Structure 1
C-alpha cells in the first residue's frame, strides 16, 4: 500500500515538473514577444514607419491625365505638370553595425567634401535661397531628429511642391542625390498640378483647380470638367528584377483636350492696352473683349481689378457682372424706332442746350458741356445726346411703351449668353409692369436696364455681321489623342436683328461717331472704325445716384474695319471722381487694340518693296572672280575685266555703276593679301600657300597679322580678323 502511494506521488511530481517546464517556456516566449514588440514599437519605430511608406497595396487607382486647354493656334494655355518635393537622408538605415558604420562614414565624407558645392548647385536652381542659407540648412538637417527626412529647400510649406520635372532630373543626376549606397539617399513626393505657360493671360476665363484637390474652381476648367477629367483605371504592382512596375488591369482613359478661341497675341495686346489705361486714370476695374465678327469667337477677354499690387484678374466681370450700359444702348433704341417706322433718320429735335426737366417726376436730364440745340438723328448719335434721344423715343412710344420693350427683345440683346461658362450674368430688361413718367426716357439712354458687357458686344457684332447676331463662343473643338471628337458649331441667335434699310442707317451713324464725333479717339488712319461711346453713372444701391463721390462706367464698343468688319471690341472702365467719358478713356484702349490686331494681319506683296527709282548695287567681296562674275551676270550686270578673262583671284571696285575686276597675283614665299575676302576664300588661299590660319569674327577679312606681300616660312601662323 505504501509503495503504491509513493509511486503515485512520484508520478505527480513528474507531471508537475512537465507543466512547470511548459509554463516557464510559455512565459519566456511571452516575455520575448513583449520585448520584441517593445523594440518594434519604440526602438525601431522610425524604421518600420519608413518601410510602411514603401508598401504598395495590391490594387491601385491609375489616375488619368487631365486634358489640355489649347489656344486657337494650338498653343498650350493650360496643361498638367508634375512637381516634386525632395527629402534628404543624412543617416544610414543599415541594421548591421559594421555595415552601418561604413555607410555612415561614406555619407559623412560626401557631406563634408561637397556641402559647399551642393549648396551652390541648389542656389543656381533656386536663387531665392543664398548659398550661406542653404549650407546652414543642410548642417541643421544633419543633426536634426528629422535627419532621415530633411527637406531639400528651407521653409517650404507641406502644400508646396516647388521642384519642376526638369529640376528633379537635374538634381537626381548629381553626385549627391543618387540611388542608395552611391550618394545621399533621398525620398520623393510628387504632385500633378495645372500650369498656365503664359502666366495670368485670360486666367479667369481659363479657370483654376482647388489646391491639393482634383476639383475645378471656375472658368473653362469647371465648365468642361467632366470632359477634361477622364476616367480612372485600376492596376496592380508587379516586381521585375527587383523593380516595381504598374500593370493596368482596367486601363485609364485620359481626359480630352479642348480648343479655345483665345488667341495668345491678341489676348496679350488686349491686357496690356487695358492695364496701361487703368493705371493712367487710377480706375477701379476694367474689361476688354475682342470678338471675331463672322463666328462670334472670343479672341481676347480681360477683366482687371485694382489690388494693392497692381491690376489683376479677380473676377470675370465681362460675363458675370451686370450694369446699366449707358449711351452704348442708344443705337438699340434708334434701331427699334427706325424699324417700327416711328421715326425717320431726318427727324430733328431741340435738345434744350443740355438741361431738360420736362419728363416729369422731378428728374433733370443733362448733356455734357453746354449741350446742343437742334439735332437730327445722326447728330444725336454722333454727339451722344441724352435729351435728343429721350425726347424722340418718348414721343414715339409714350402711348405704347411695351412696344418699345418688345422691339428691344426683337434685336436679341436680352439673350442670356452662357458663354460655355458657369455663373454668367443674365440681362435684366423689364418687359412689363408700371410705366411712370421717367422710365421710358431713361430706359432709352441705357438706364433702368442691366446687362453684362458681353451682351452689348454681341449687339454691335450683329450690326457688323450684316444683322445676324451670333452667340459668343469660347470653345470650338474637343479632341482626344489628337483627333477631333466634337466640333462646336456657331450658334445663330437672330438671323435678322432688323430690316436691311435700318441696319445701313445704324452703320452710317456709328461711322459718324468715330469720324469727328464723341468716339474720335478710336479712329485709325489705316482703316475705318465704327462704334459708340458710353458713359453711365453707377447706382449706389439704396443711396441711388447721389451719394458723395460719383462712380461711372465708361465704355466704347465698335467694329473694324468698318467697310469690311473682321472684329468687334468693347472696352469698359469703372472709375470714381473727376471727369469721366467713354470717348476719353475707353476709346483710346479700343484704338490701341484695333491698330495692333490689324497690324499683325497685314501681309504685303514682295513686289511692293521694289525700288523702281534707284538701282541696287550689291557689295562684292574679293576672292574667287569666276564665281563673282557668274553671280553678277545673273543679276543682269556685266563686270569689266581689267587684264585677263582667265584670272581666278581678284578684287572688285565700283566705278560709277560699273564693276571692275583686278587680279590678285600670288608670289612664292610672299604672304597673300586677303583683306576684303570672305572667310572661305581667304582660308583657301592662305592654306594653299602653306600658312596655318586662325580665324576670329564673322563677315569679311578686315586685317591680317602677317602683312600682305611680306616674307614667310611654310608652317607660320597667321591670324585674320573678320567683321561685318
Structure 2
C-alpha cells in the first residue's frame, strides 16, 4: 500500500489498469479465434473441399416421407393397383479411388450400355463420367446414368456391376427409391381405377374418390441433402409413415374384358366419337364392368367417364318411364290399351311435327306395341292422354322413378341428371311434355338410366350403384358397404310385371329382335336420340343406346350401352338397334358362358365308374399332372406346358399323349372342362355356345353368316 502511495497511484487506478489489460488480451484472443474460424471455413480443405463448400453441398434436413398407398383389388381379390418401388440410377463419380476407377470404368460402361441399349453408348457414357470426374471440386459430382427408372429386378442386376458392387477402393453407385403406381391389368378399367396427383384437379377414379383411405399417413426423417438434391437417410424415422388402407372393388375383370372388347369393336367399326358400357348386378347394384372410350382418330383412350359425367338426351330408352307412368296413372293393361298412331305423324305446332321412323305409321296398336316398335307418336299420345291437363303429375312420377339428381354412387365427379319441371321458367306448355315423354329436353347420364332399368329388373325396388365393397387395413375391415335397396317399389307390382313383358317384347318382336337368343331371354329397349349442334338438331348425328337386363325369368345382370355419333352408310344403320344392341348381346353371351349360375341345367348324379372301364381326361398338362398326383397314379404326365389327353384304367394303367398342335383348325375338346374348351376354341376364332354342365361330351360346328359357332354339350 505504501509503495502504491509513494508511486503516486491509488488502488483504483491499479484495478482499472489491470481491467484494461485483461480486456485487451480477451479481444486479441477473440480475434485470433475468429480469424482461425474464417481460415477453417474458407481456406482449410478436407478431401478436396473447403468446409464452407462442404456445408453448402451437404445439409441435414427433416423431410416428410410419404406413406405407401394402399392397394386396389377386384371382386376376386386380384390386384388392380399397387405401389411398387422403382429406382433412379446414378453415380458419385469421385467416390472410387484412381486405381479402381481406371481398372473398371470401361467394363462398367460396356455392361451398362448393353443392359440399356436405348440409352447412351458405352463410349459416350465413359466420356461423360471421365469429364465430370476431372472437373473442379466445386462442380457437382453426381450424375444420373439413365433418364427413367428401373424396377427391382433390374436394380439387382445393376448391383452386380463395378462401382455398385462392394469392393475395396470402389463405390459411387447410387439408387434413389421412387414409389410408383403399378396396374397389373394395364389399361383395363384404367380411368375407373384412376390416378392420384398432388394436384387434386388431376386425380380421378377410385384413387381420387377413396384417397382418404388409400393415402395413409406420412412420416418424417432426417436426411443429408447432397448434390442434385440427392437425399441420404440419417438414422431411423423420426415419425414412421403409416401405409394406406386397401380398397376392394366390385369390378370383375373378366366381365370388364368382355365389355371392353365388344365396345372397342363397335366404336371403331362405326367410327363413333365415344362410347361407354356399364354392367351391374341387379340385386346388389354392384358394378361389374365400367368402360369408357374416346375415339382419337382411330386410337381409343380411356380419358373421360361418360357413364357418370356425360348427361344428354337419352332418346327412346326414356319411353319406358312414360309407359310406366301412364300405366300407373291409367291402371290399364298394356295389351288392351290401344293407341291410334295414324300415319306416323303428329303435329304439335305449325312448325313442329312428331314423326315415327316408319313413314306410313303403325295405325292403331297396343301400348305394349308402342314400346316394341318405339313409336314416338304413340308415346306422345299416351303422355297427352294421361298427363296433358296435369303435367305436374307426370313430373311427380319421374321423381318417384328417381330419374333426377345423382345415383349416389360414392365416386367424385358424378353429374346430376336434369329433367324439366312445369314450375321451371323454360317449361313450354305446348312442346315440353311431348318432347320429354320420348326422351328430349333433358340431361340424363347413362348410369342414371341404367339404375332405373335395374329397378324394373329388381321387381321395382331401386338399388344404389356401388363400386366398392369394403376398406381393409391389414386383416381388419375398416368400412364395409352394403347394398342399399329402397323399401318401397317405384311402381306397383302389376305395372313392373307389365314393363318386363313390354321390354321382353322389344327383343322378341320389336326394334331389338336381332339380338334375341335361343339360350336365354333378354329384356331391354333401344334408344336413338338426335344430337344437337350449334344451330339445333343435326341430321345424321345420333346418340345410340340400349338398356336392359337378363335373363328375363330371374334377372341377374343389367347393362347399358351408349355410343355417340356413329357413322354409317344409311340412317337406319345408326340407330340403337343396329349399333348398341349387338354390343349388349355380345357381352351378355360372354357373361352367360362365364357365369354358370345363370344355367338352369338339371342336376345330374355322377355315374360310378364300373370296374375295368377307362376314364378319359383332356386338358393342360400341368393341371392333369396335379390331378394324377392327387389320385396317386403310377404313371403321370411327363410333359409340361402342353395340351394333352389321357386314358386311365385303375391306378396302375394310364396313357398320356400330346394333342392340339397349332395347325389343327377345329380342336376336338371332348373330355375337357368348359374353361379349357373355351380357351382353345376362342383362340381359334370360334364363338362358343354350350348346354349342360360337367365335361364336354360332344361338339357341333355351324356357320351363322360370317360367324363360326361351336355348340358344346357338357355332362
Judging changes above 3 Å, is the alpha-carbon distance between structure 1 residues 610 and 444 closer, same or farther for their aligned structure 2 residues? farther
Structure 1 partner of 2:536: 544
Aligned mates of 1:316, 1:521 — CA distance in 2? 29
Offset, 1:41: 10
Distance 2:566 2:244 in 1: 46
Residue of structure 1 aligned with 2:479, choices 483, 486, 494: 486
**Aligned-partner Cα distance in 1 for 2:268–2:143:** 45
What is the TM-score when the length of structure 2 is the normalising length? 0.73
Name the counterpart of 2:274: 285
* 1:494-517 deviation digits (Å, cap 9, x = unpaired): 630111111111111111111132
Structure 1: distance between partners of 2:43 and 2:530: 77
Distance in 2 (alpha carbons) for counterparts of 1:162 and 1:574 = 39
Q: Deviations over 1:686-717 (max 9, x none)?
A: xxxxxxxxxxxxxxxxxxxxxxxxxxxxxxxx
Q: Distance in 1 between matches of 2:447 and 2:44?
A: 67
Q: Residue 263 of structure 2 aligns with which residue?
A: 274
How does 1:503-518 map onto structure 2 within 5 Å?
A: 503-518=496-511
Counterparts of 2:305 and 2:616, CA distance in 1:
57
| Alpha carbons of structure 1 residues 26 and 403: separation in structure 2 relative to 1, 3 Å | closer
Does the CA contact (< 8 Å) of 1:305 and 1:314 recur in 2?
yes
2:69 is equivalent to residue 66 of structure 1:
yes
Runs of 5+ in structure 2 lacking a partner?
1-21, 225-231, 618-633, 636-645, 656-715
- What is residue 298 of structure 1 aligned with on the other side? 287
**Is the partner of 1:311 in helix, strand or coil?**
strand
Q: Aligned-pair distance for 1:34?
A: 4.9
SS of 2:173's equivalent?
A: strand
Is contact 1:259-1:475 (8 Å) kept? yes
Q: How does 1:451-490 map to 2 (within 5 A)?
A: 451-490=444-483
Q: Does the C-alpha gap of structure 1 residues 86 and 31 become closer, same or farther in structure 2, counting only changes over 3 Å?
A: same
Determine the structure 1 residue equivalent to 2:666: none
Aligned to 1:660: none
Aligned to 1:432: 422
Residue 356 in structure 1 maps to residue 346 in structure 2 = yes
Q: CA deviation at 1:362?
A: 1.8
1:696 maps to which residue? none
- Across the aligned residues of Structure 1 and Structure 2, the Cα RMSD in angstroms comes to 4.0
**Does the 8 Å contact 2:67/2:243 carry over to 1?**
yes
Partner of 2:217: 231
Judging changes above 3 Å, is the alpha-carbon distance between structure 1 residues 82 and 446 closer, same or farther for their aligned structure 2 residues? same
Cross-structure match for 1:165: 152
Q: Deviations over 1:196-234 (max 9, x none)?
A: 2212222222221226x7997122222222222222345
Range 576-585 or range 74-83, more displaced: 576-585
Given the alignment of the two structures, is residue 409 of structure 1 paired with residue 412 of structure 2, yes or no?
no
Match of 2:253 among 243, 257, 264: 264
Q: 5+ unaligned residues in a row in structure 1: which ranges?
A: 1-17, 94-102, 620-626, 640-650, 652-724
Cα shift readout 1:386-432 (whole Å, capped 9, x = no counterpart): 11111122122111111111111112222422311122111111222
Moved more, 585-594 or 77-86: 77-86
Distance 1:425 1:66 in 2: 28
Q: CA deviation at 1:35?
A: 5.3
Q: CA deviation at 1:290?
A: 0.4
By how many angstroms is 1:371 displaced?
A: 4.7
CA contact (8 A) 1:118 1:176 kept: no
1:523 matched to which residue of 2? Answer: 516
- Distance in 2 of aligned mates of 1:354 and 1:226: 56
Q: Residues 188 and 458 (structure 1 numbering): CA distance in 2 closer, same or farther, change over 3 Å?
A: same
Q: Secondary structure at the match of 1:539?
A: strand
Return closer, same or farther for 1:164/1:351 CA change in 2, 3 Å cut-off: same
* Alignment deviations for residues 512-554 of structure 1 (CA, whole Å, 9 cap, x no partner): 111132112333332111100000012225x2214xx643111
CA deviation vs aligned residue, 1:582-603 (integer Å, no higher than 9, x gap)? 1111111111111111211127
Deviations 1:342-371 (A, max 9, x none): 6541222232333332x2252122222425
Please say if residues 91 and 107 of structure 1, whose CA atoms lie closer than 8 Å, have aligned partners that are also in contact.
Answer: no
- Deviation, 1:606, is 8.5
User: In the alignment, what sits opposite 2:13?
Assistant: none
- The residue aligned with 1:143 is 131
Deviates more, 1:592-601 or 1:513-522: 513-522
Structure 1 contact 209–215 (Cα < 8 Å) conserved: no
The SS at the match of 1:141 is helix
| Greater C-alpha Rg | 1
Equivalent pair of 1:84/1:163 in contact (CA under 8 Å): yes
Distance 1:299 1:46 in 2: 65
Q: Distance in 2 between matches of 1:570 and 1:195?
A: 30
Tell me which residue corresponds to 1:112.
Answer: 106
Q: Distance in 1 between matches of 2:607 and 2:448?
A: 44
- Partner in structure 1 of residue 196 of structure 2: 209
SS at match of 2:326: helix
Structure 1 residue 571 corresponds to structure 2 residue 597: no
Decide whether the 8 Å contact of 2:81 with 2:182 is kept in 1: yes
Deviations 1:236-263 (A, max 9, x none): 689xxxx977545655433221111111
Alpha-carbon distance between aligned partners in 1 of 2:54 and 2:79, rounded to the nearest angstrom: 39
Q: 1:447 to 1:633 in 2, by over 3 A?
A: closer
Distance 2:616 2:283 in 1: 47
Q: Give the secondary-structure state (helix, strand or coil) at the position aligned to 1:105.
A: helix
Q: Give the Cα–Cα distance (whole angstroms) in 2 for the partners of residues 47 and 537 of structure 1.
A: 76
Counterpart-to-counterpart distance in 2, 1:300 and 1:500: 29
Q: CA deviation at 1:318?
A: 0.6
Deviations 1:469-504 (A, max 9, x none): 101011111111122122112112463011111111
1:399 aligns to what SS in structure 2? coil
3-state DSSP of counterpart to 1:414: coil
User: Is residue 558 from structure 1 mapped to residue 548 from structure 2 by the alignment?
Assistant: yes
Q: What is the count of residue pairs matched by the alignment?
A: 584
Q: Secondary structure at the match of 2:318?
A: helix
Q: Match for residue 624 of structure 2?
A: none
* Helix, strand or coil at the partner of 1:323: coil
Check conservation: 2:248, 2:470, Cα contact below 8 A.
yes
2:647 and 2:409 map into 1 onto residues whose CA distance is: 63
Check the 8 A contact 1:179/1:185 in 2, yes or no. Answer: no
Secondary structure of 2:549's match?
strand
Partner of 1:722: none
Among 213, 221, 244, the residue aligned to 1:255: 244
TM-score by length of 1: 0.72
Give, in angstroms, the shift of residue 143 of structure 1: 1.6
In 2: Cα distance, 1:81 partner to 1:592 partner: 36
Aligned residue among 364, 377, 386 for 1:396? 386
- Is the 2:544–2:576 contact (alpha carbons within 8 Å) kept by the matching residues of 1? yes
Q: How far, CA to CA, are the matches of 1:54 and 1:215 in structure 2? A: 36
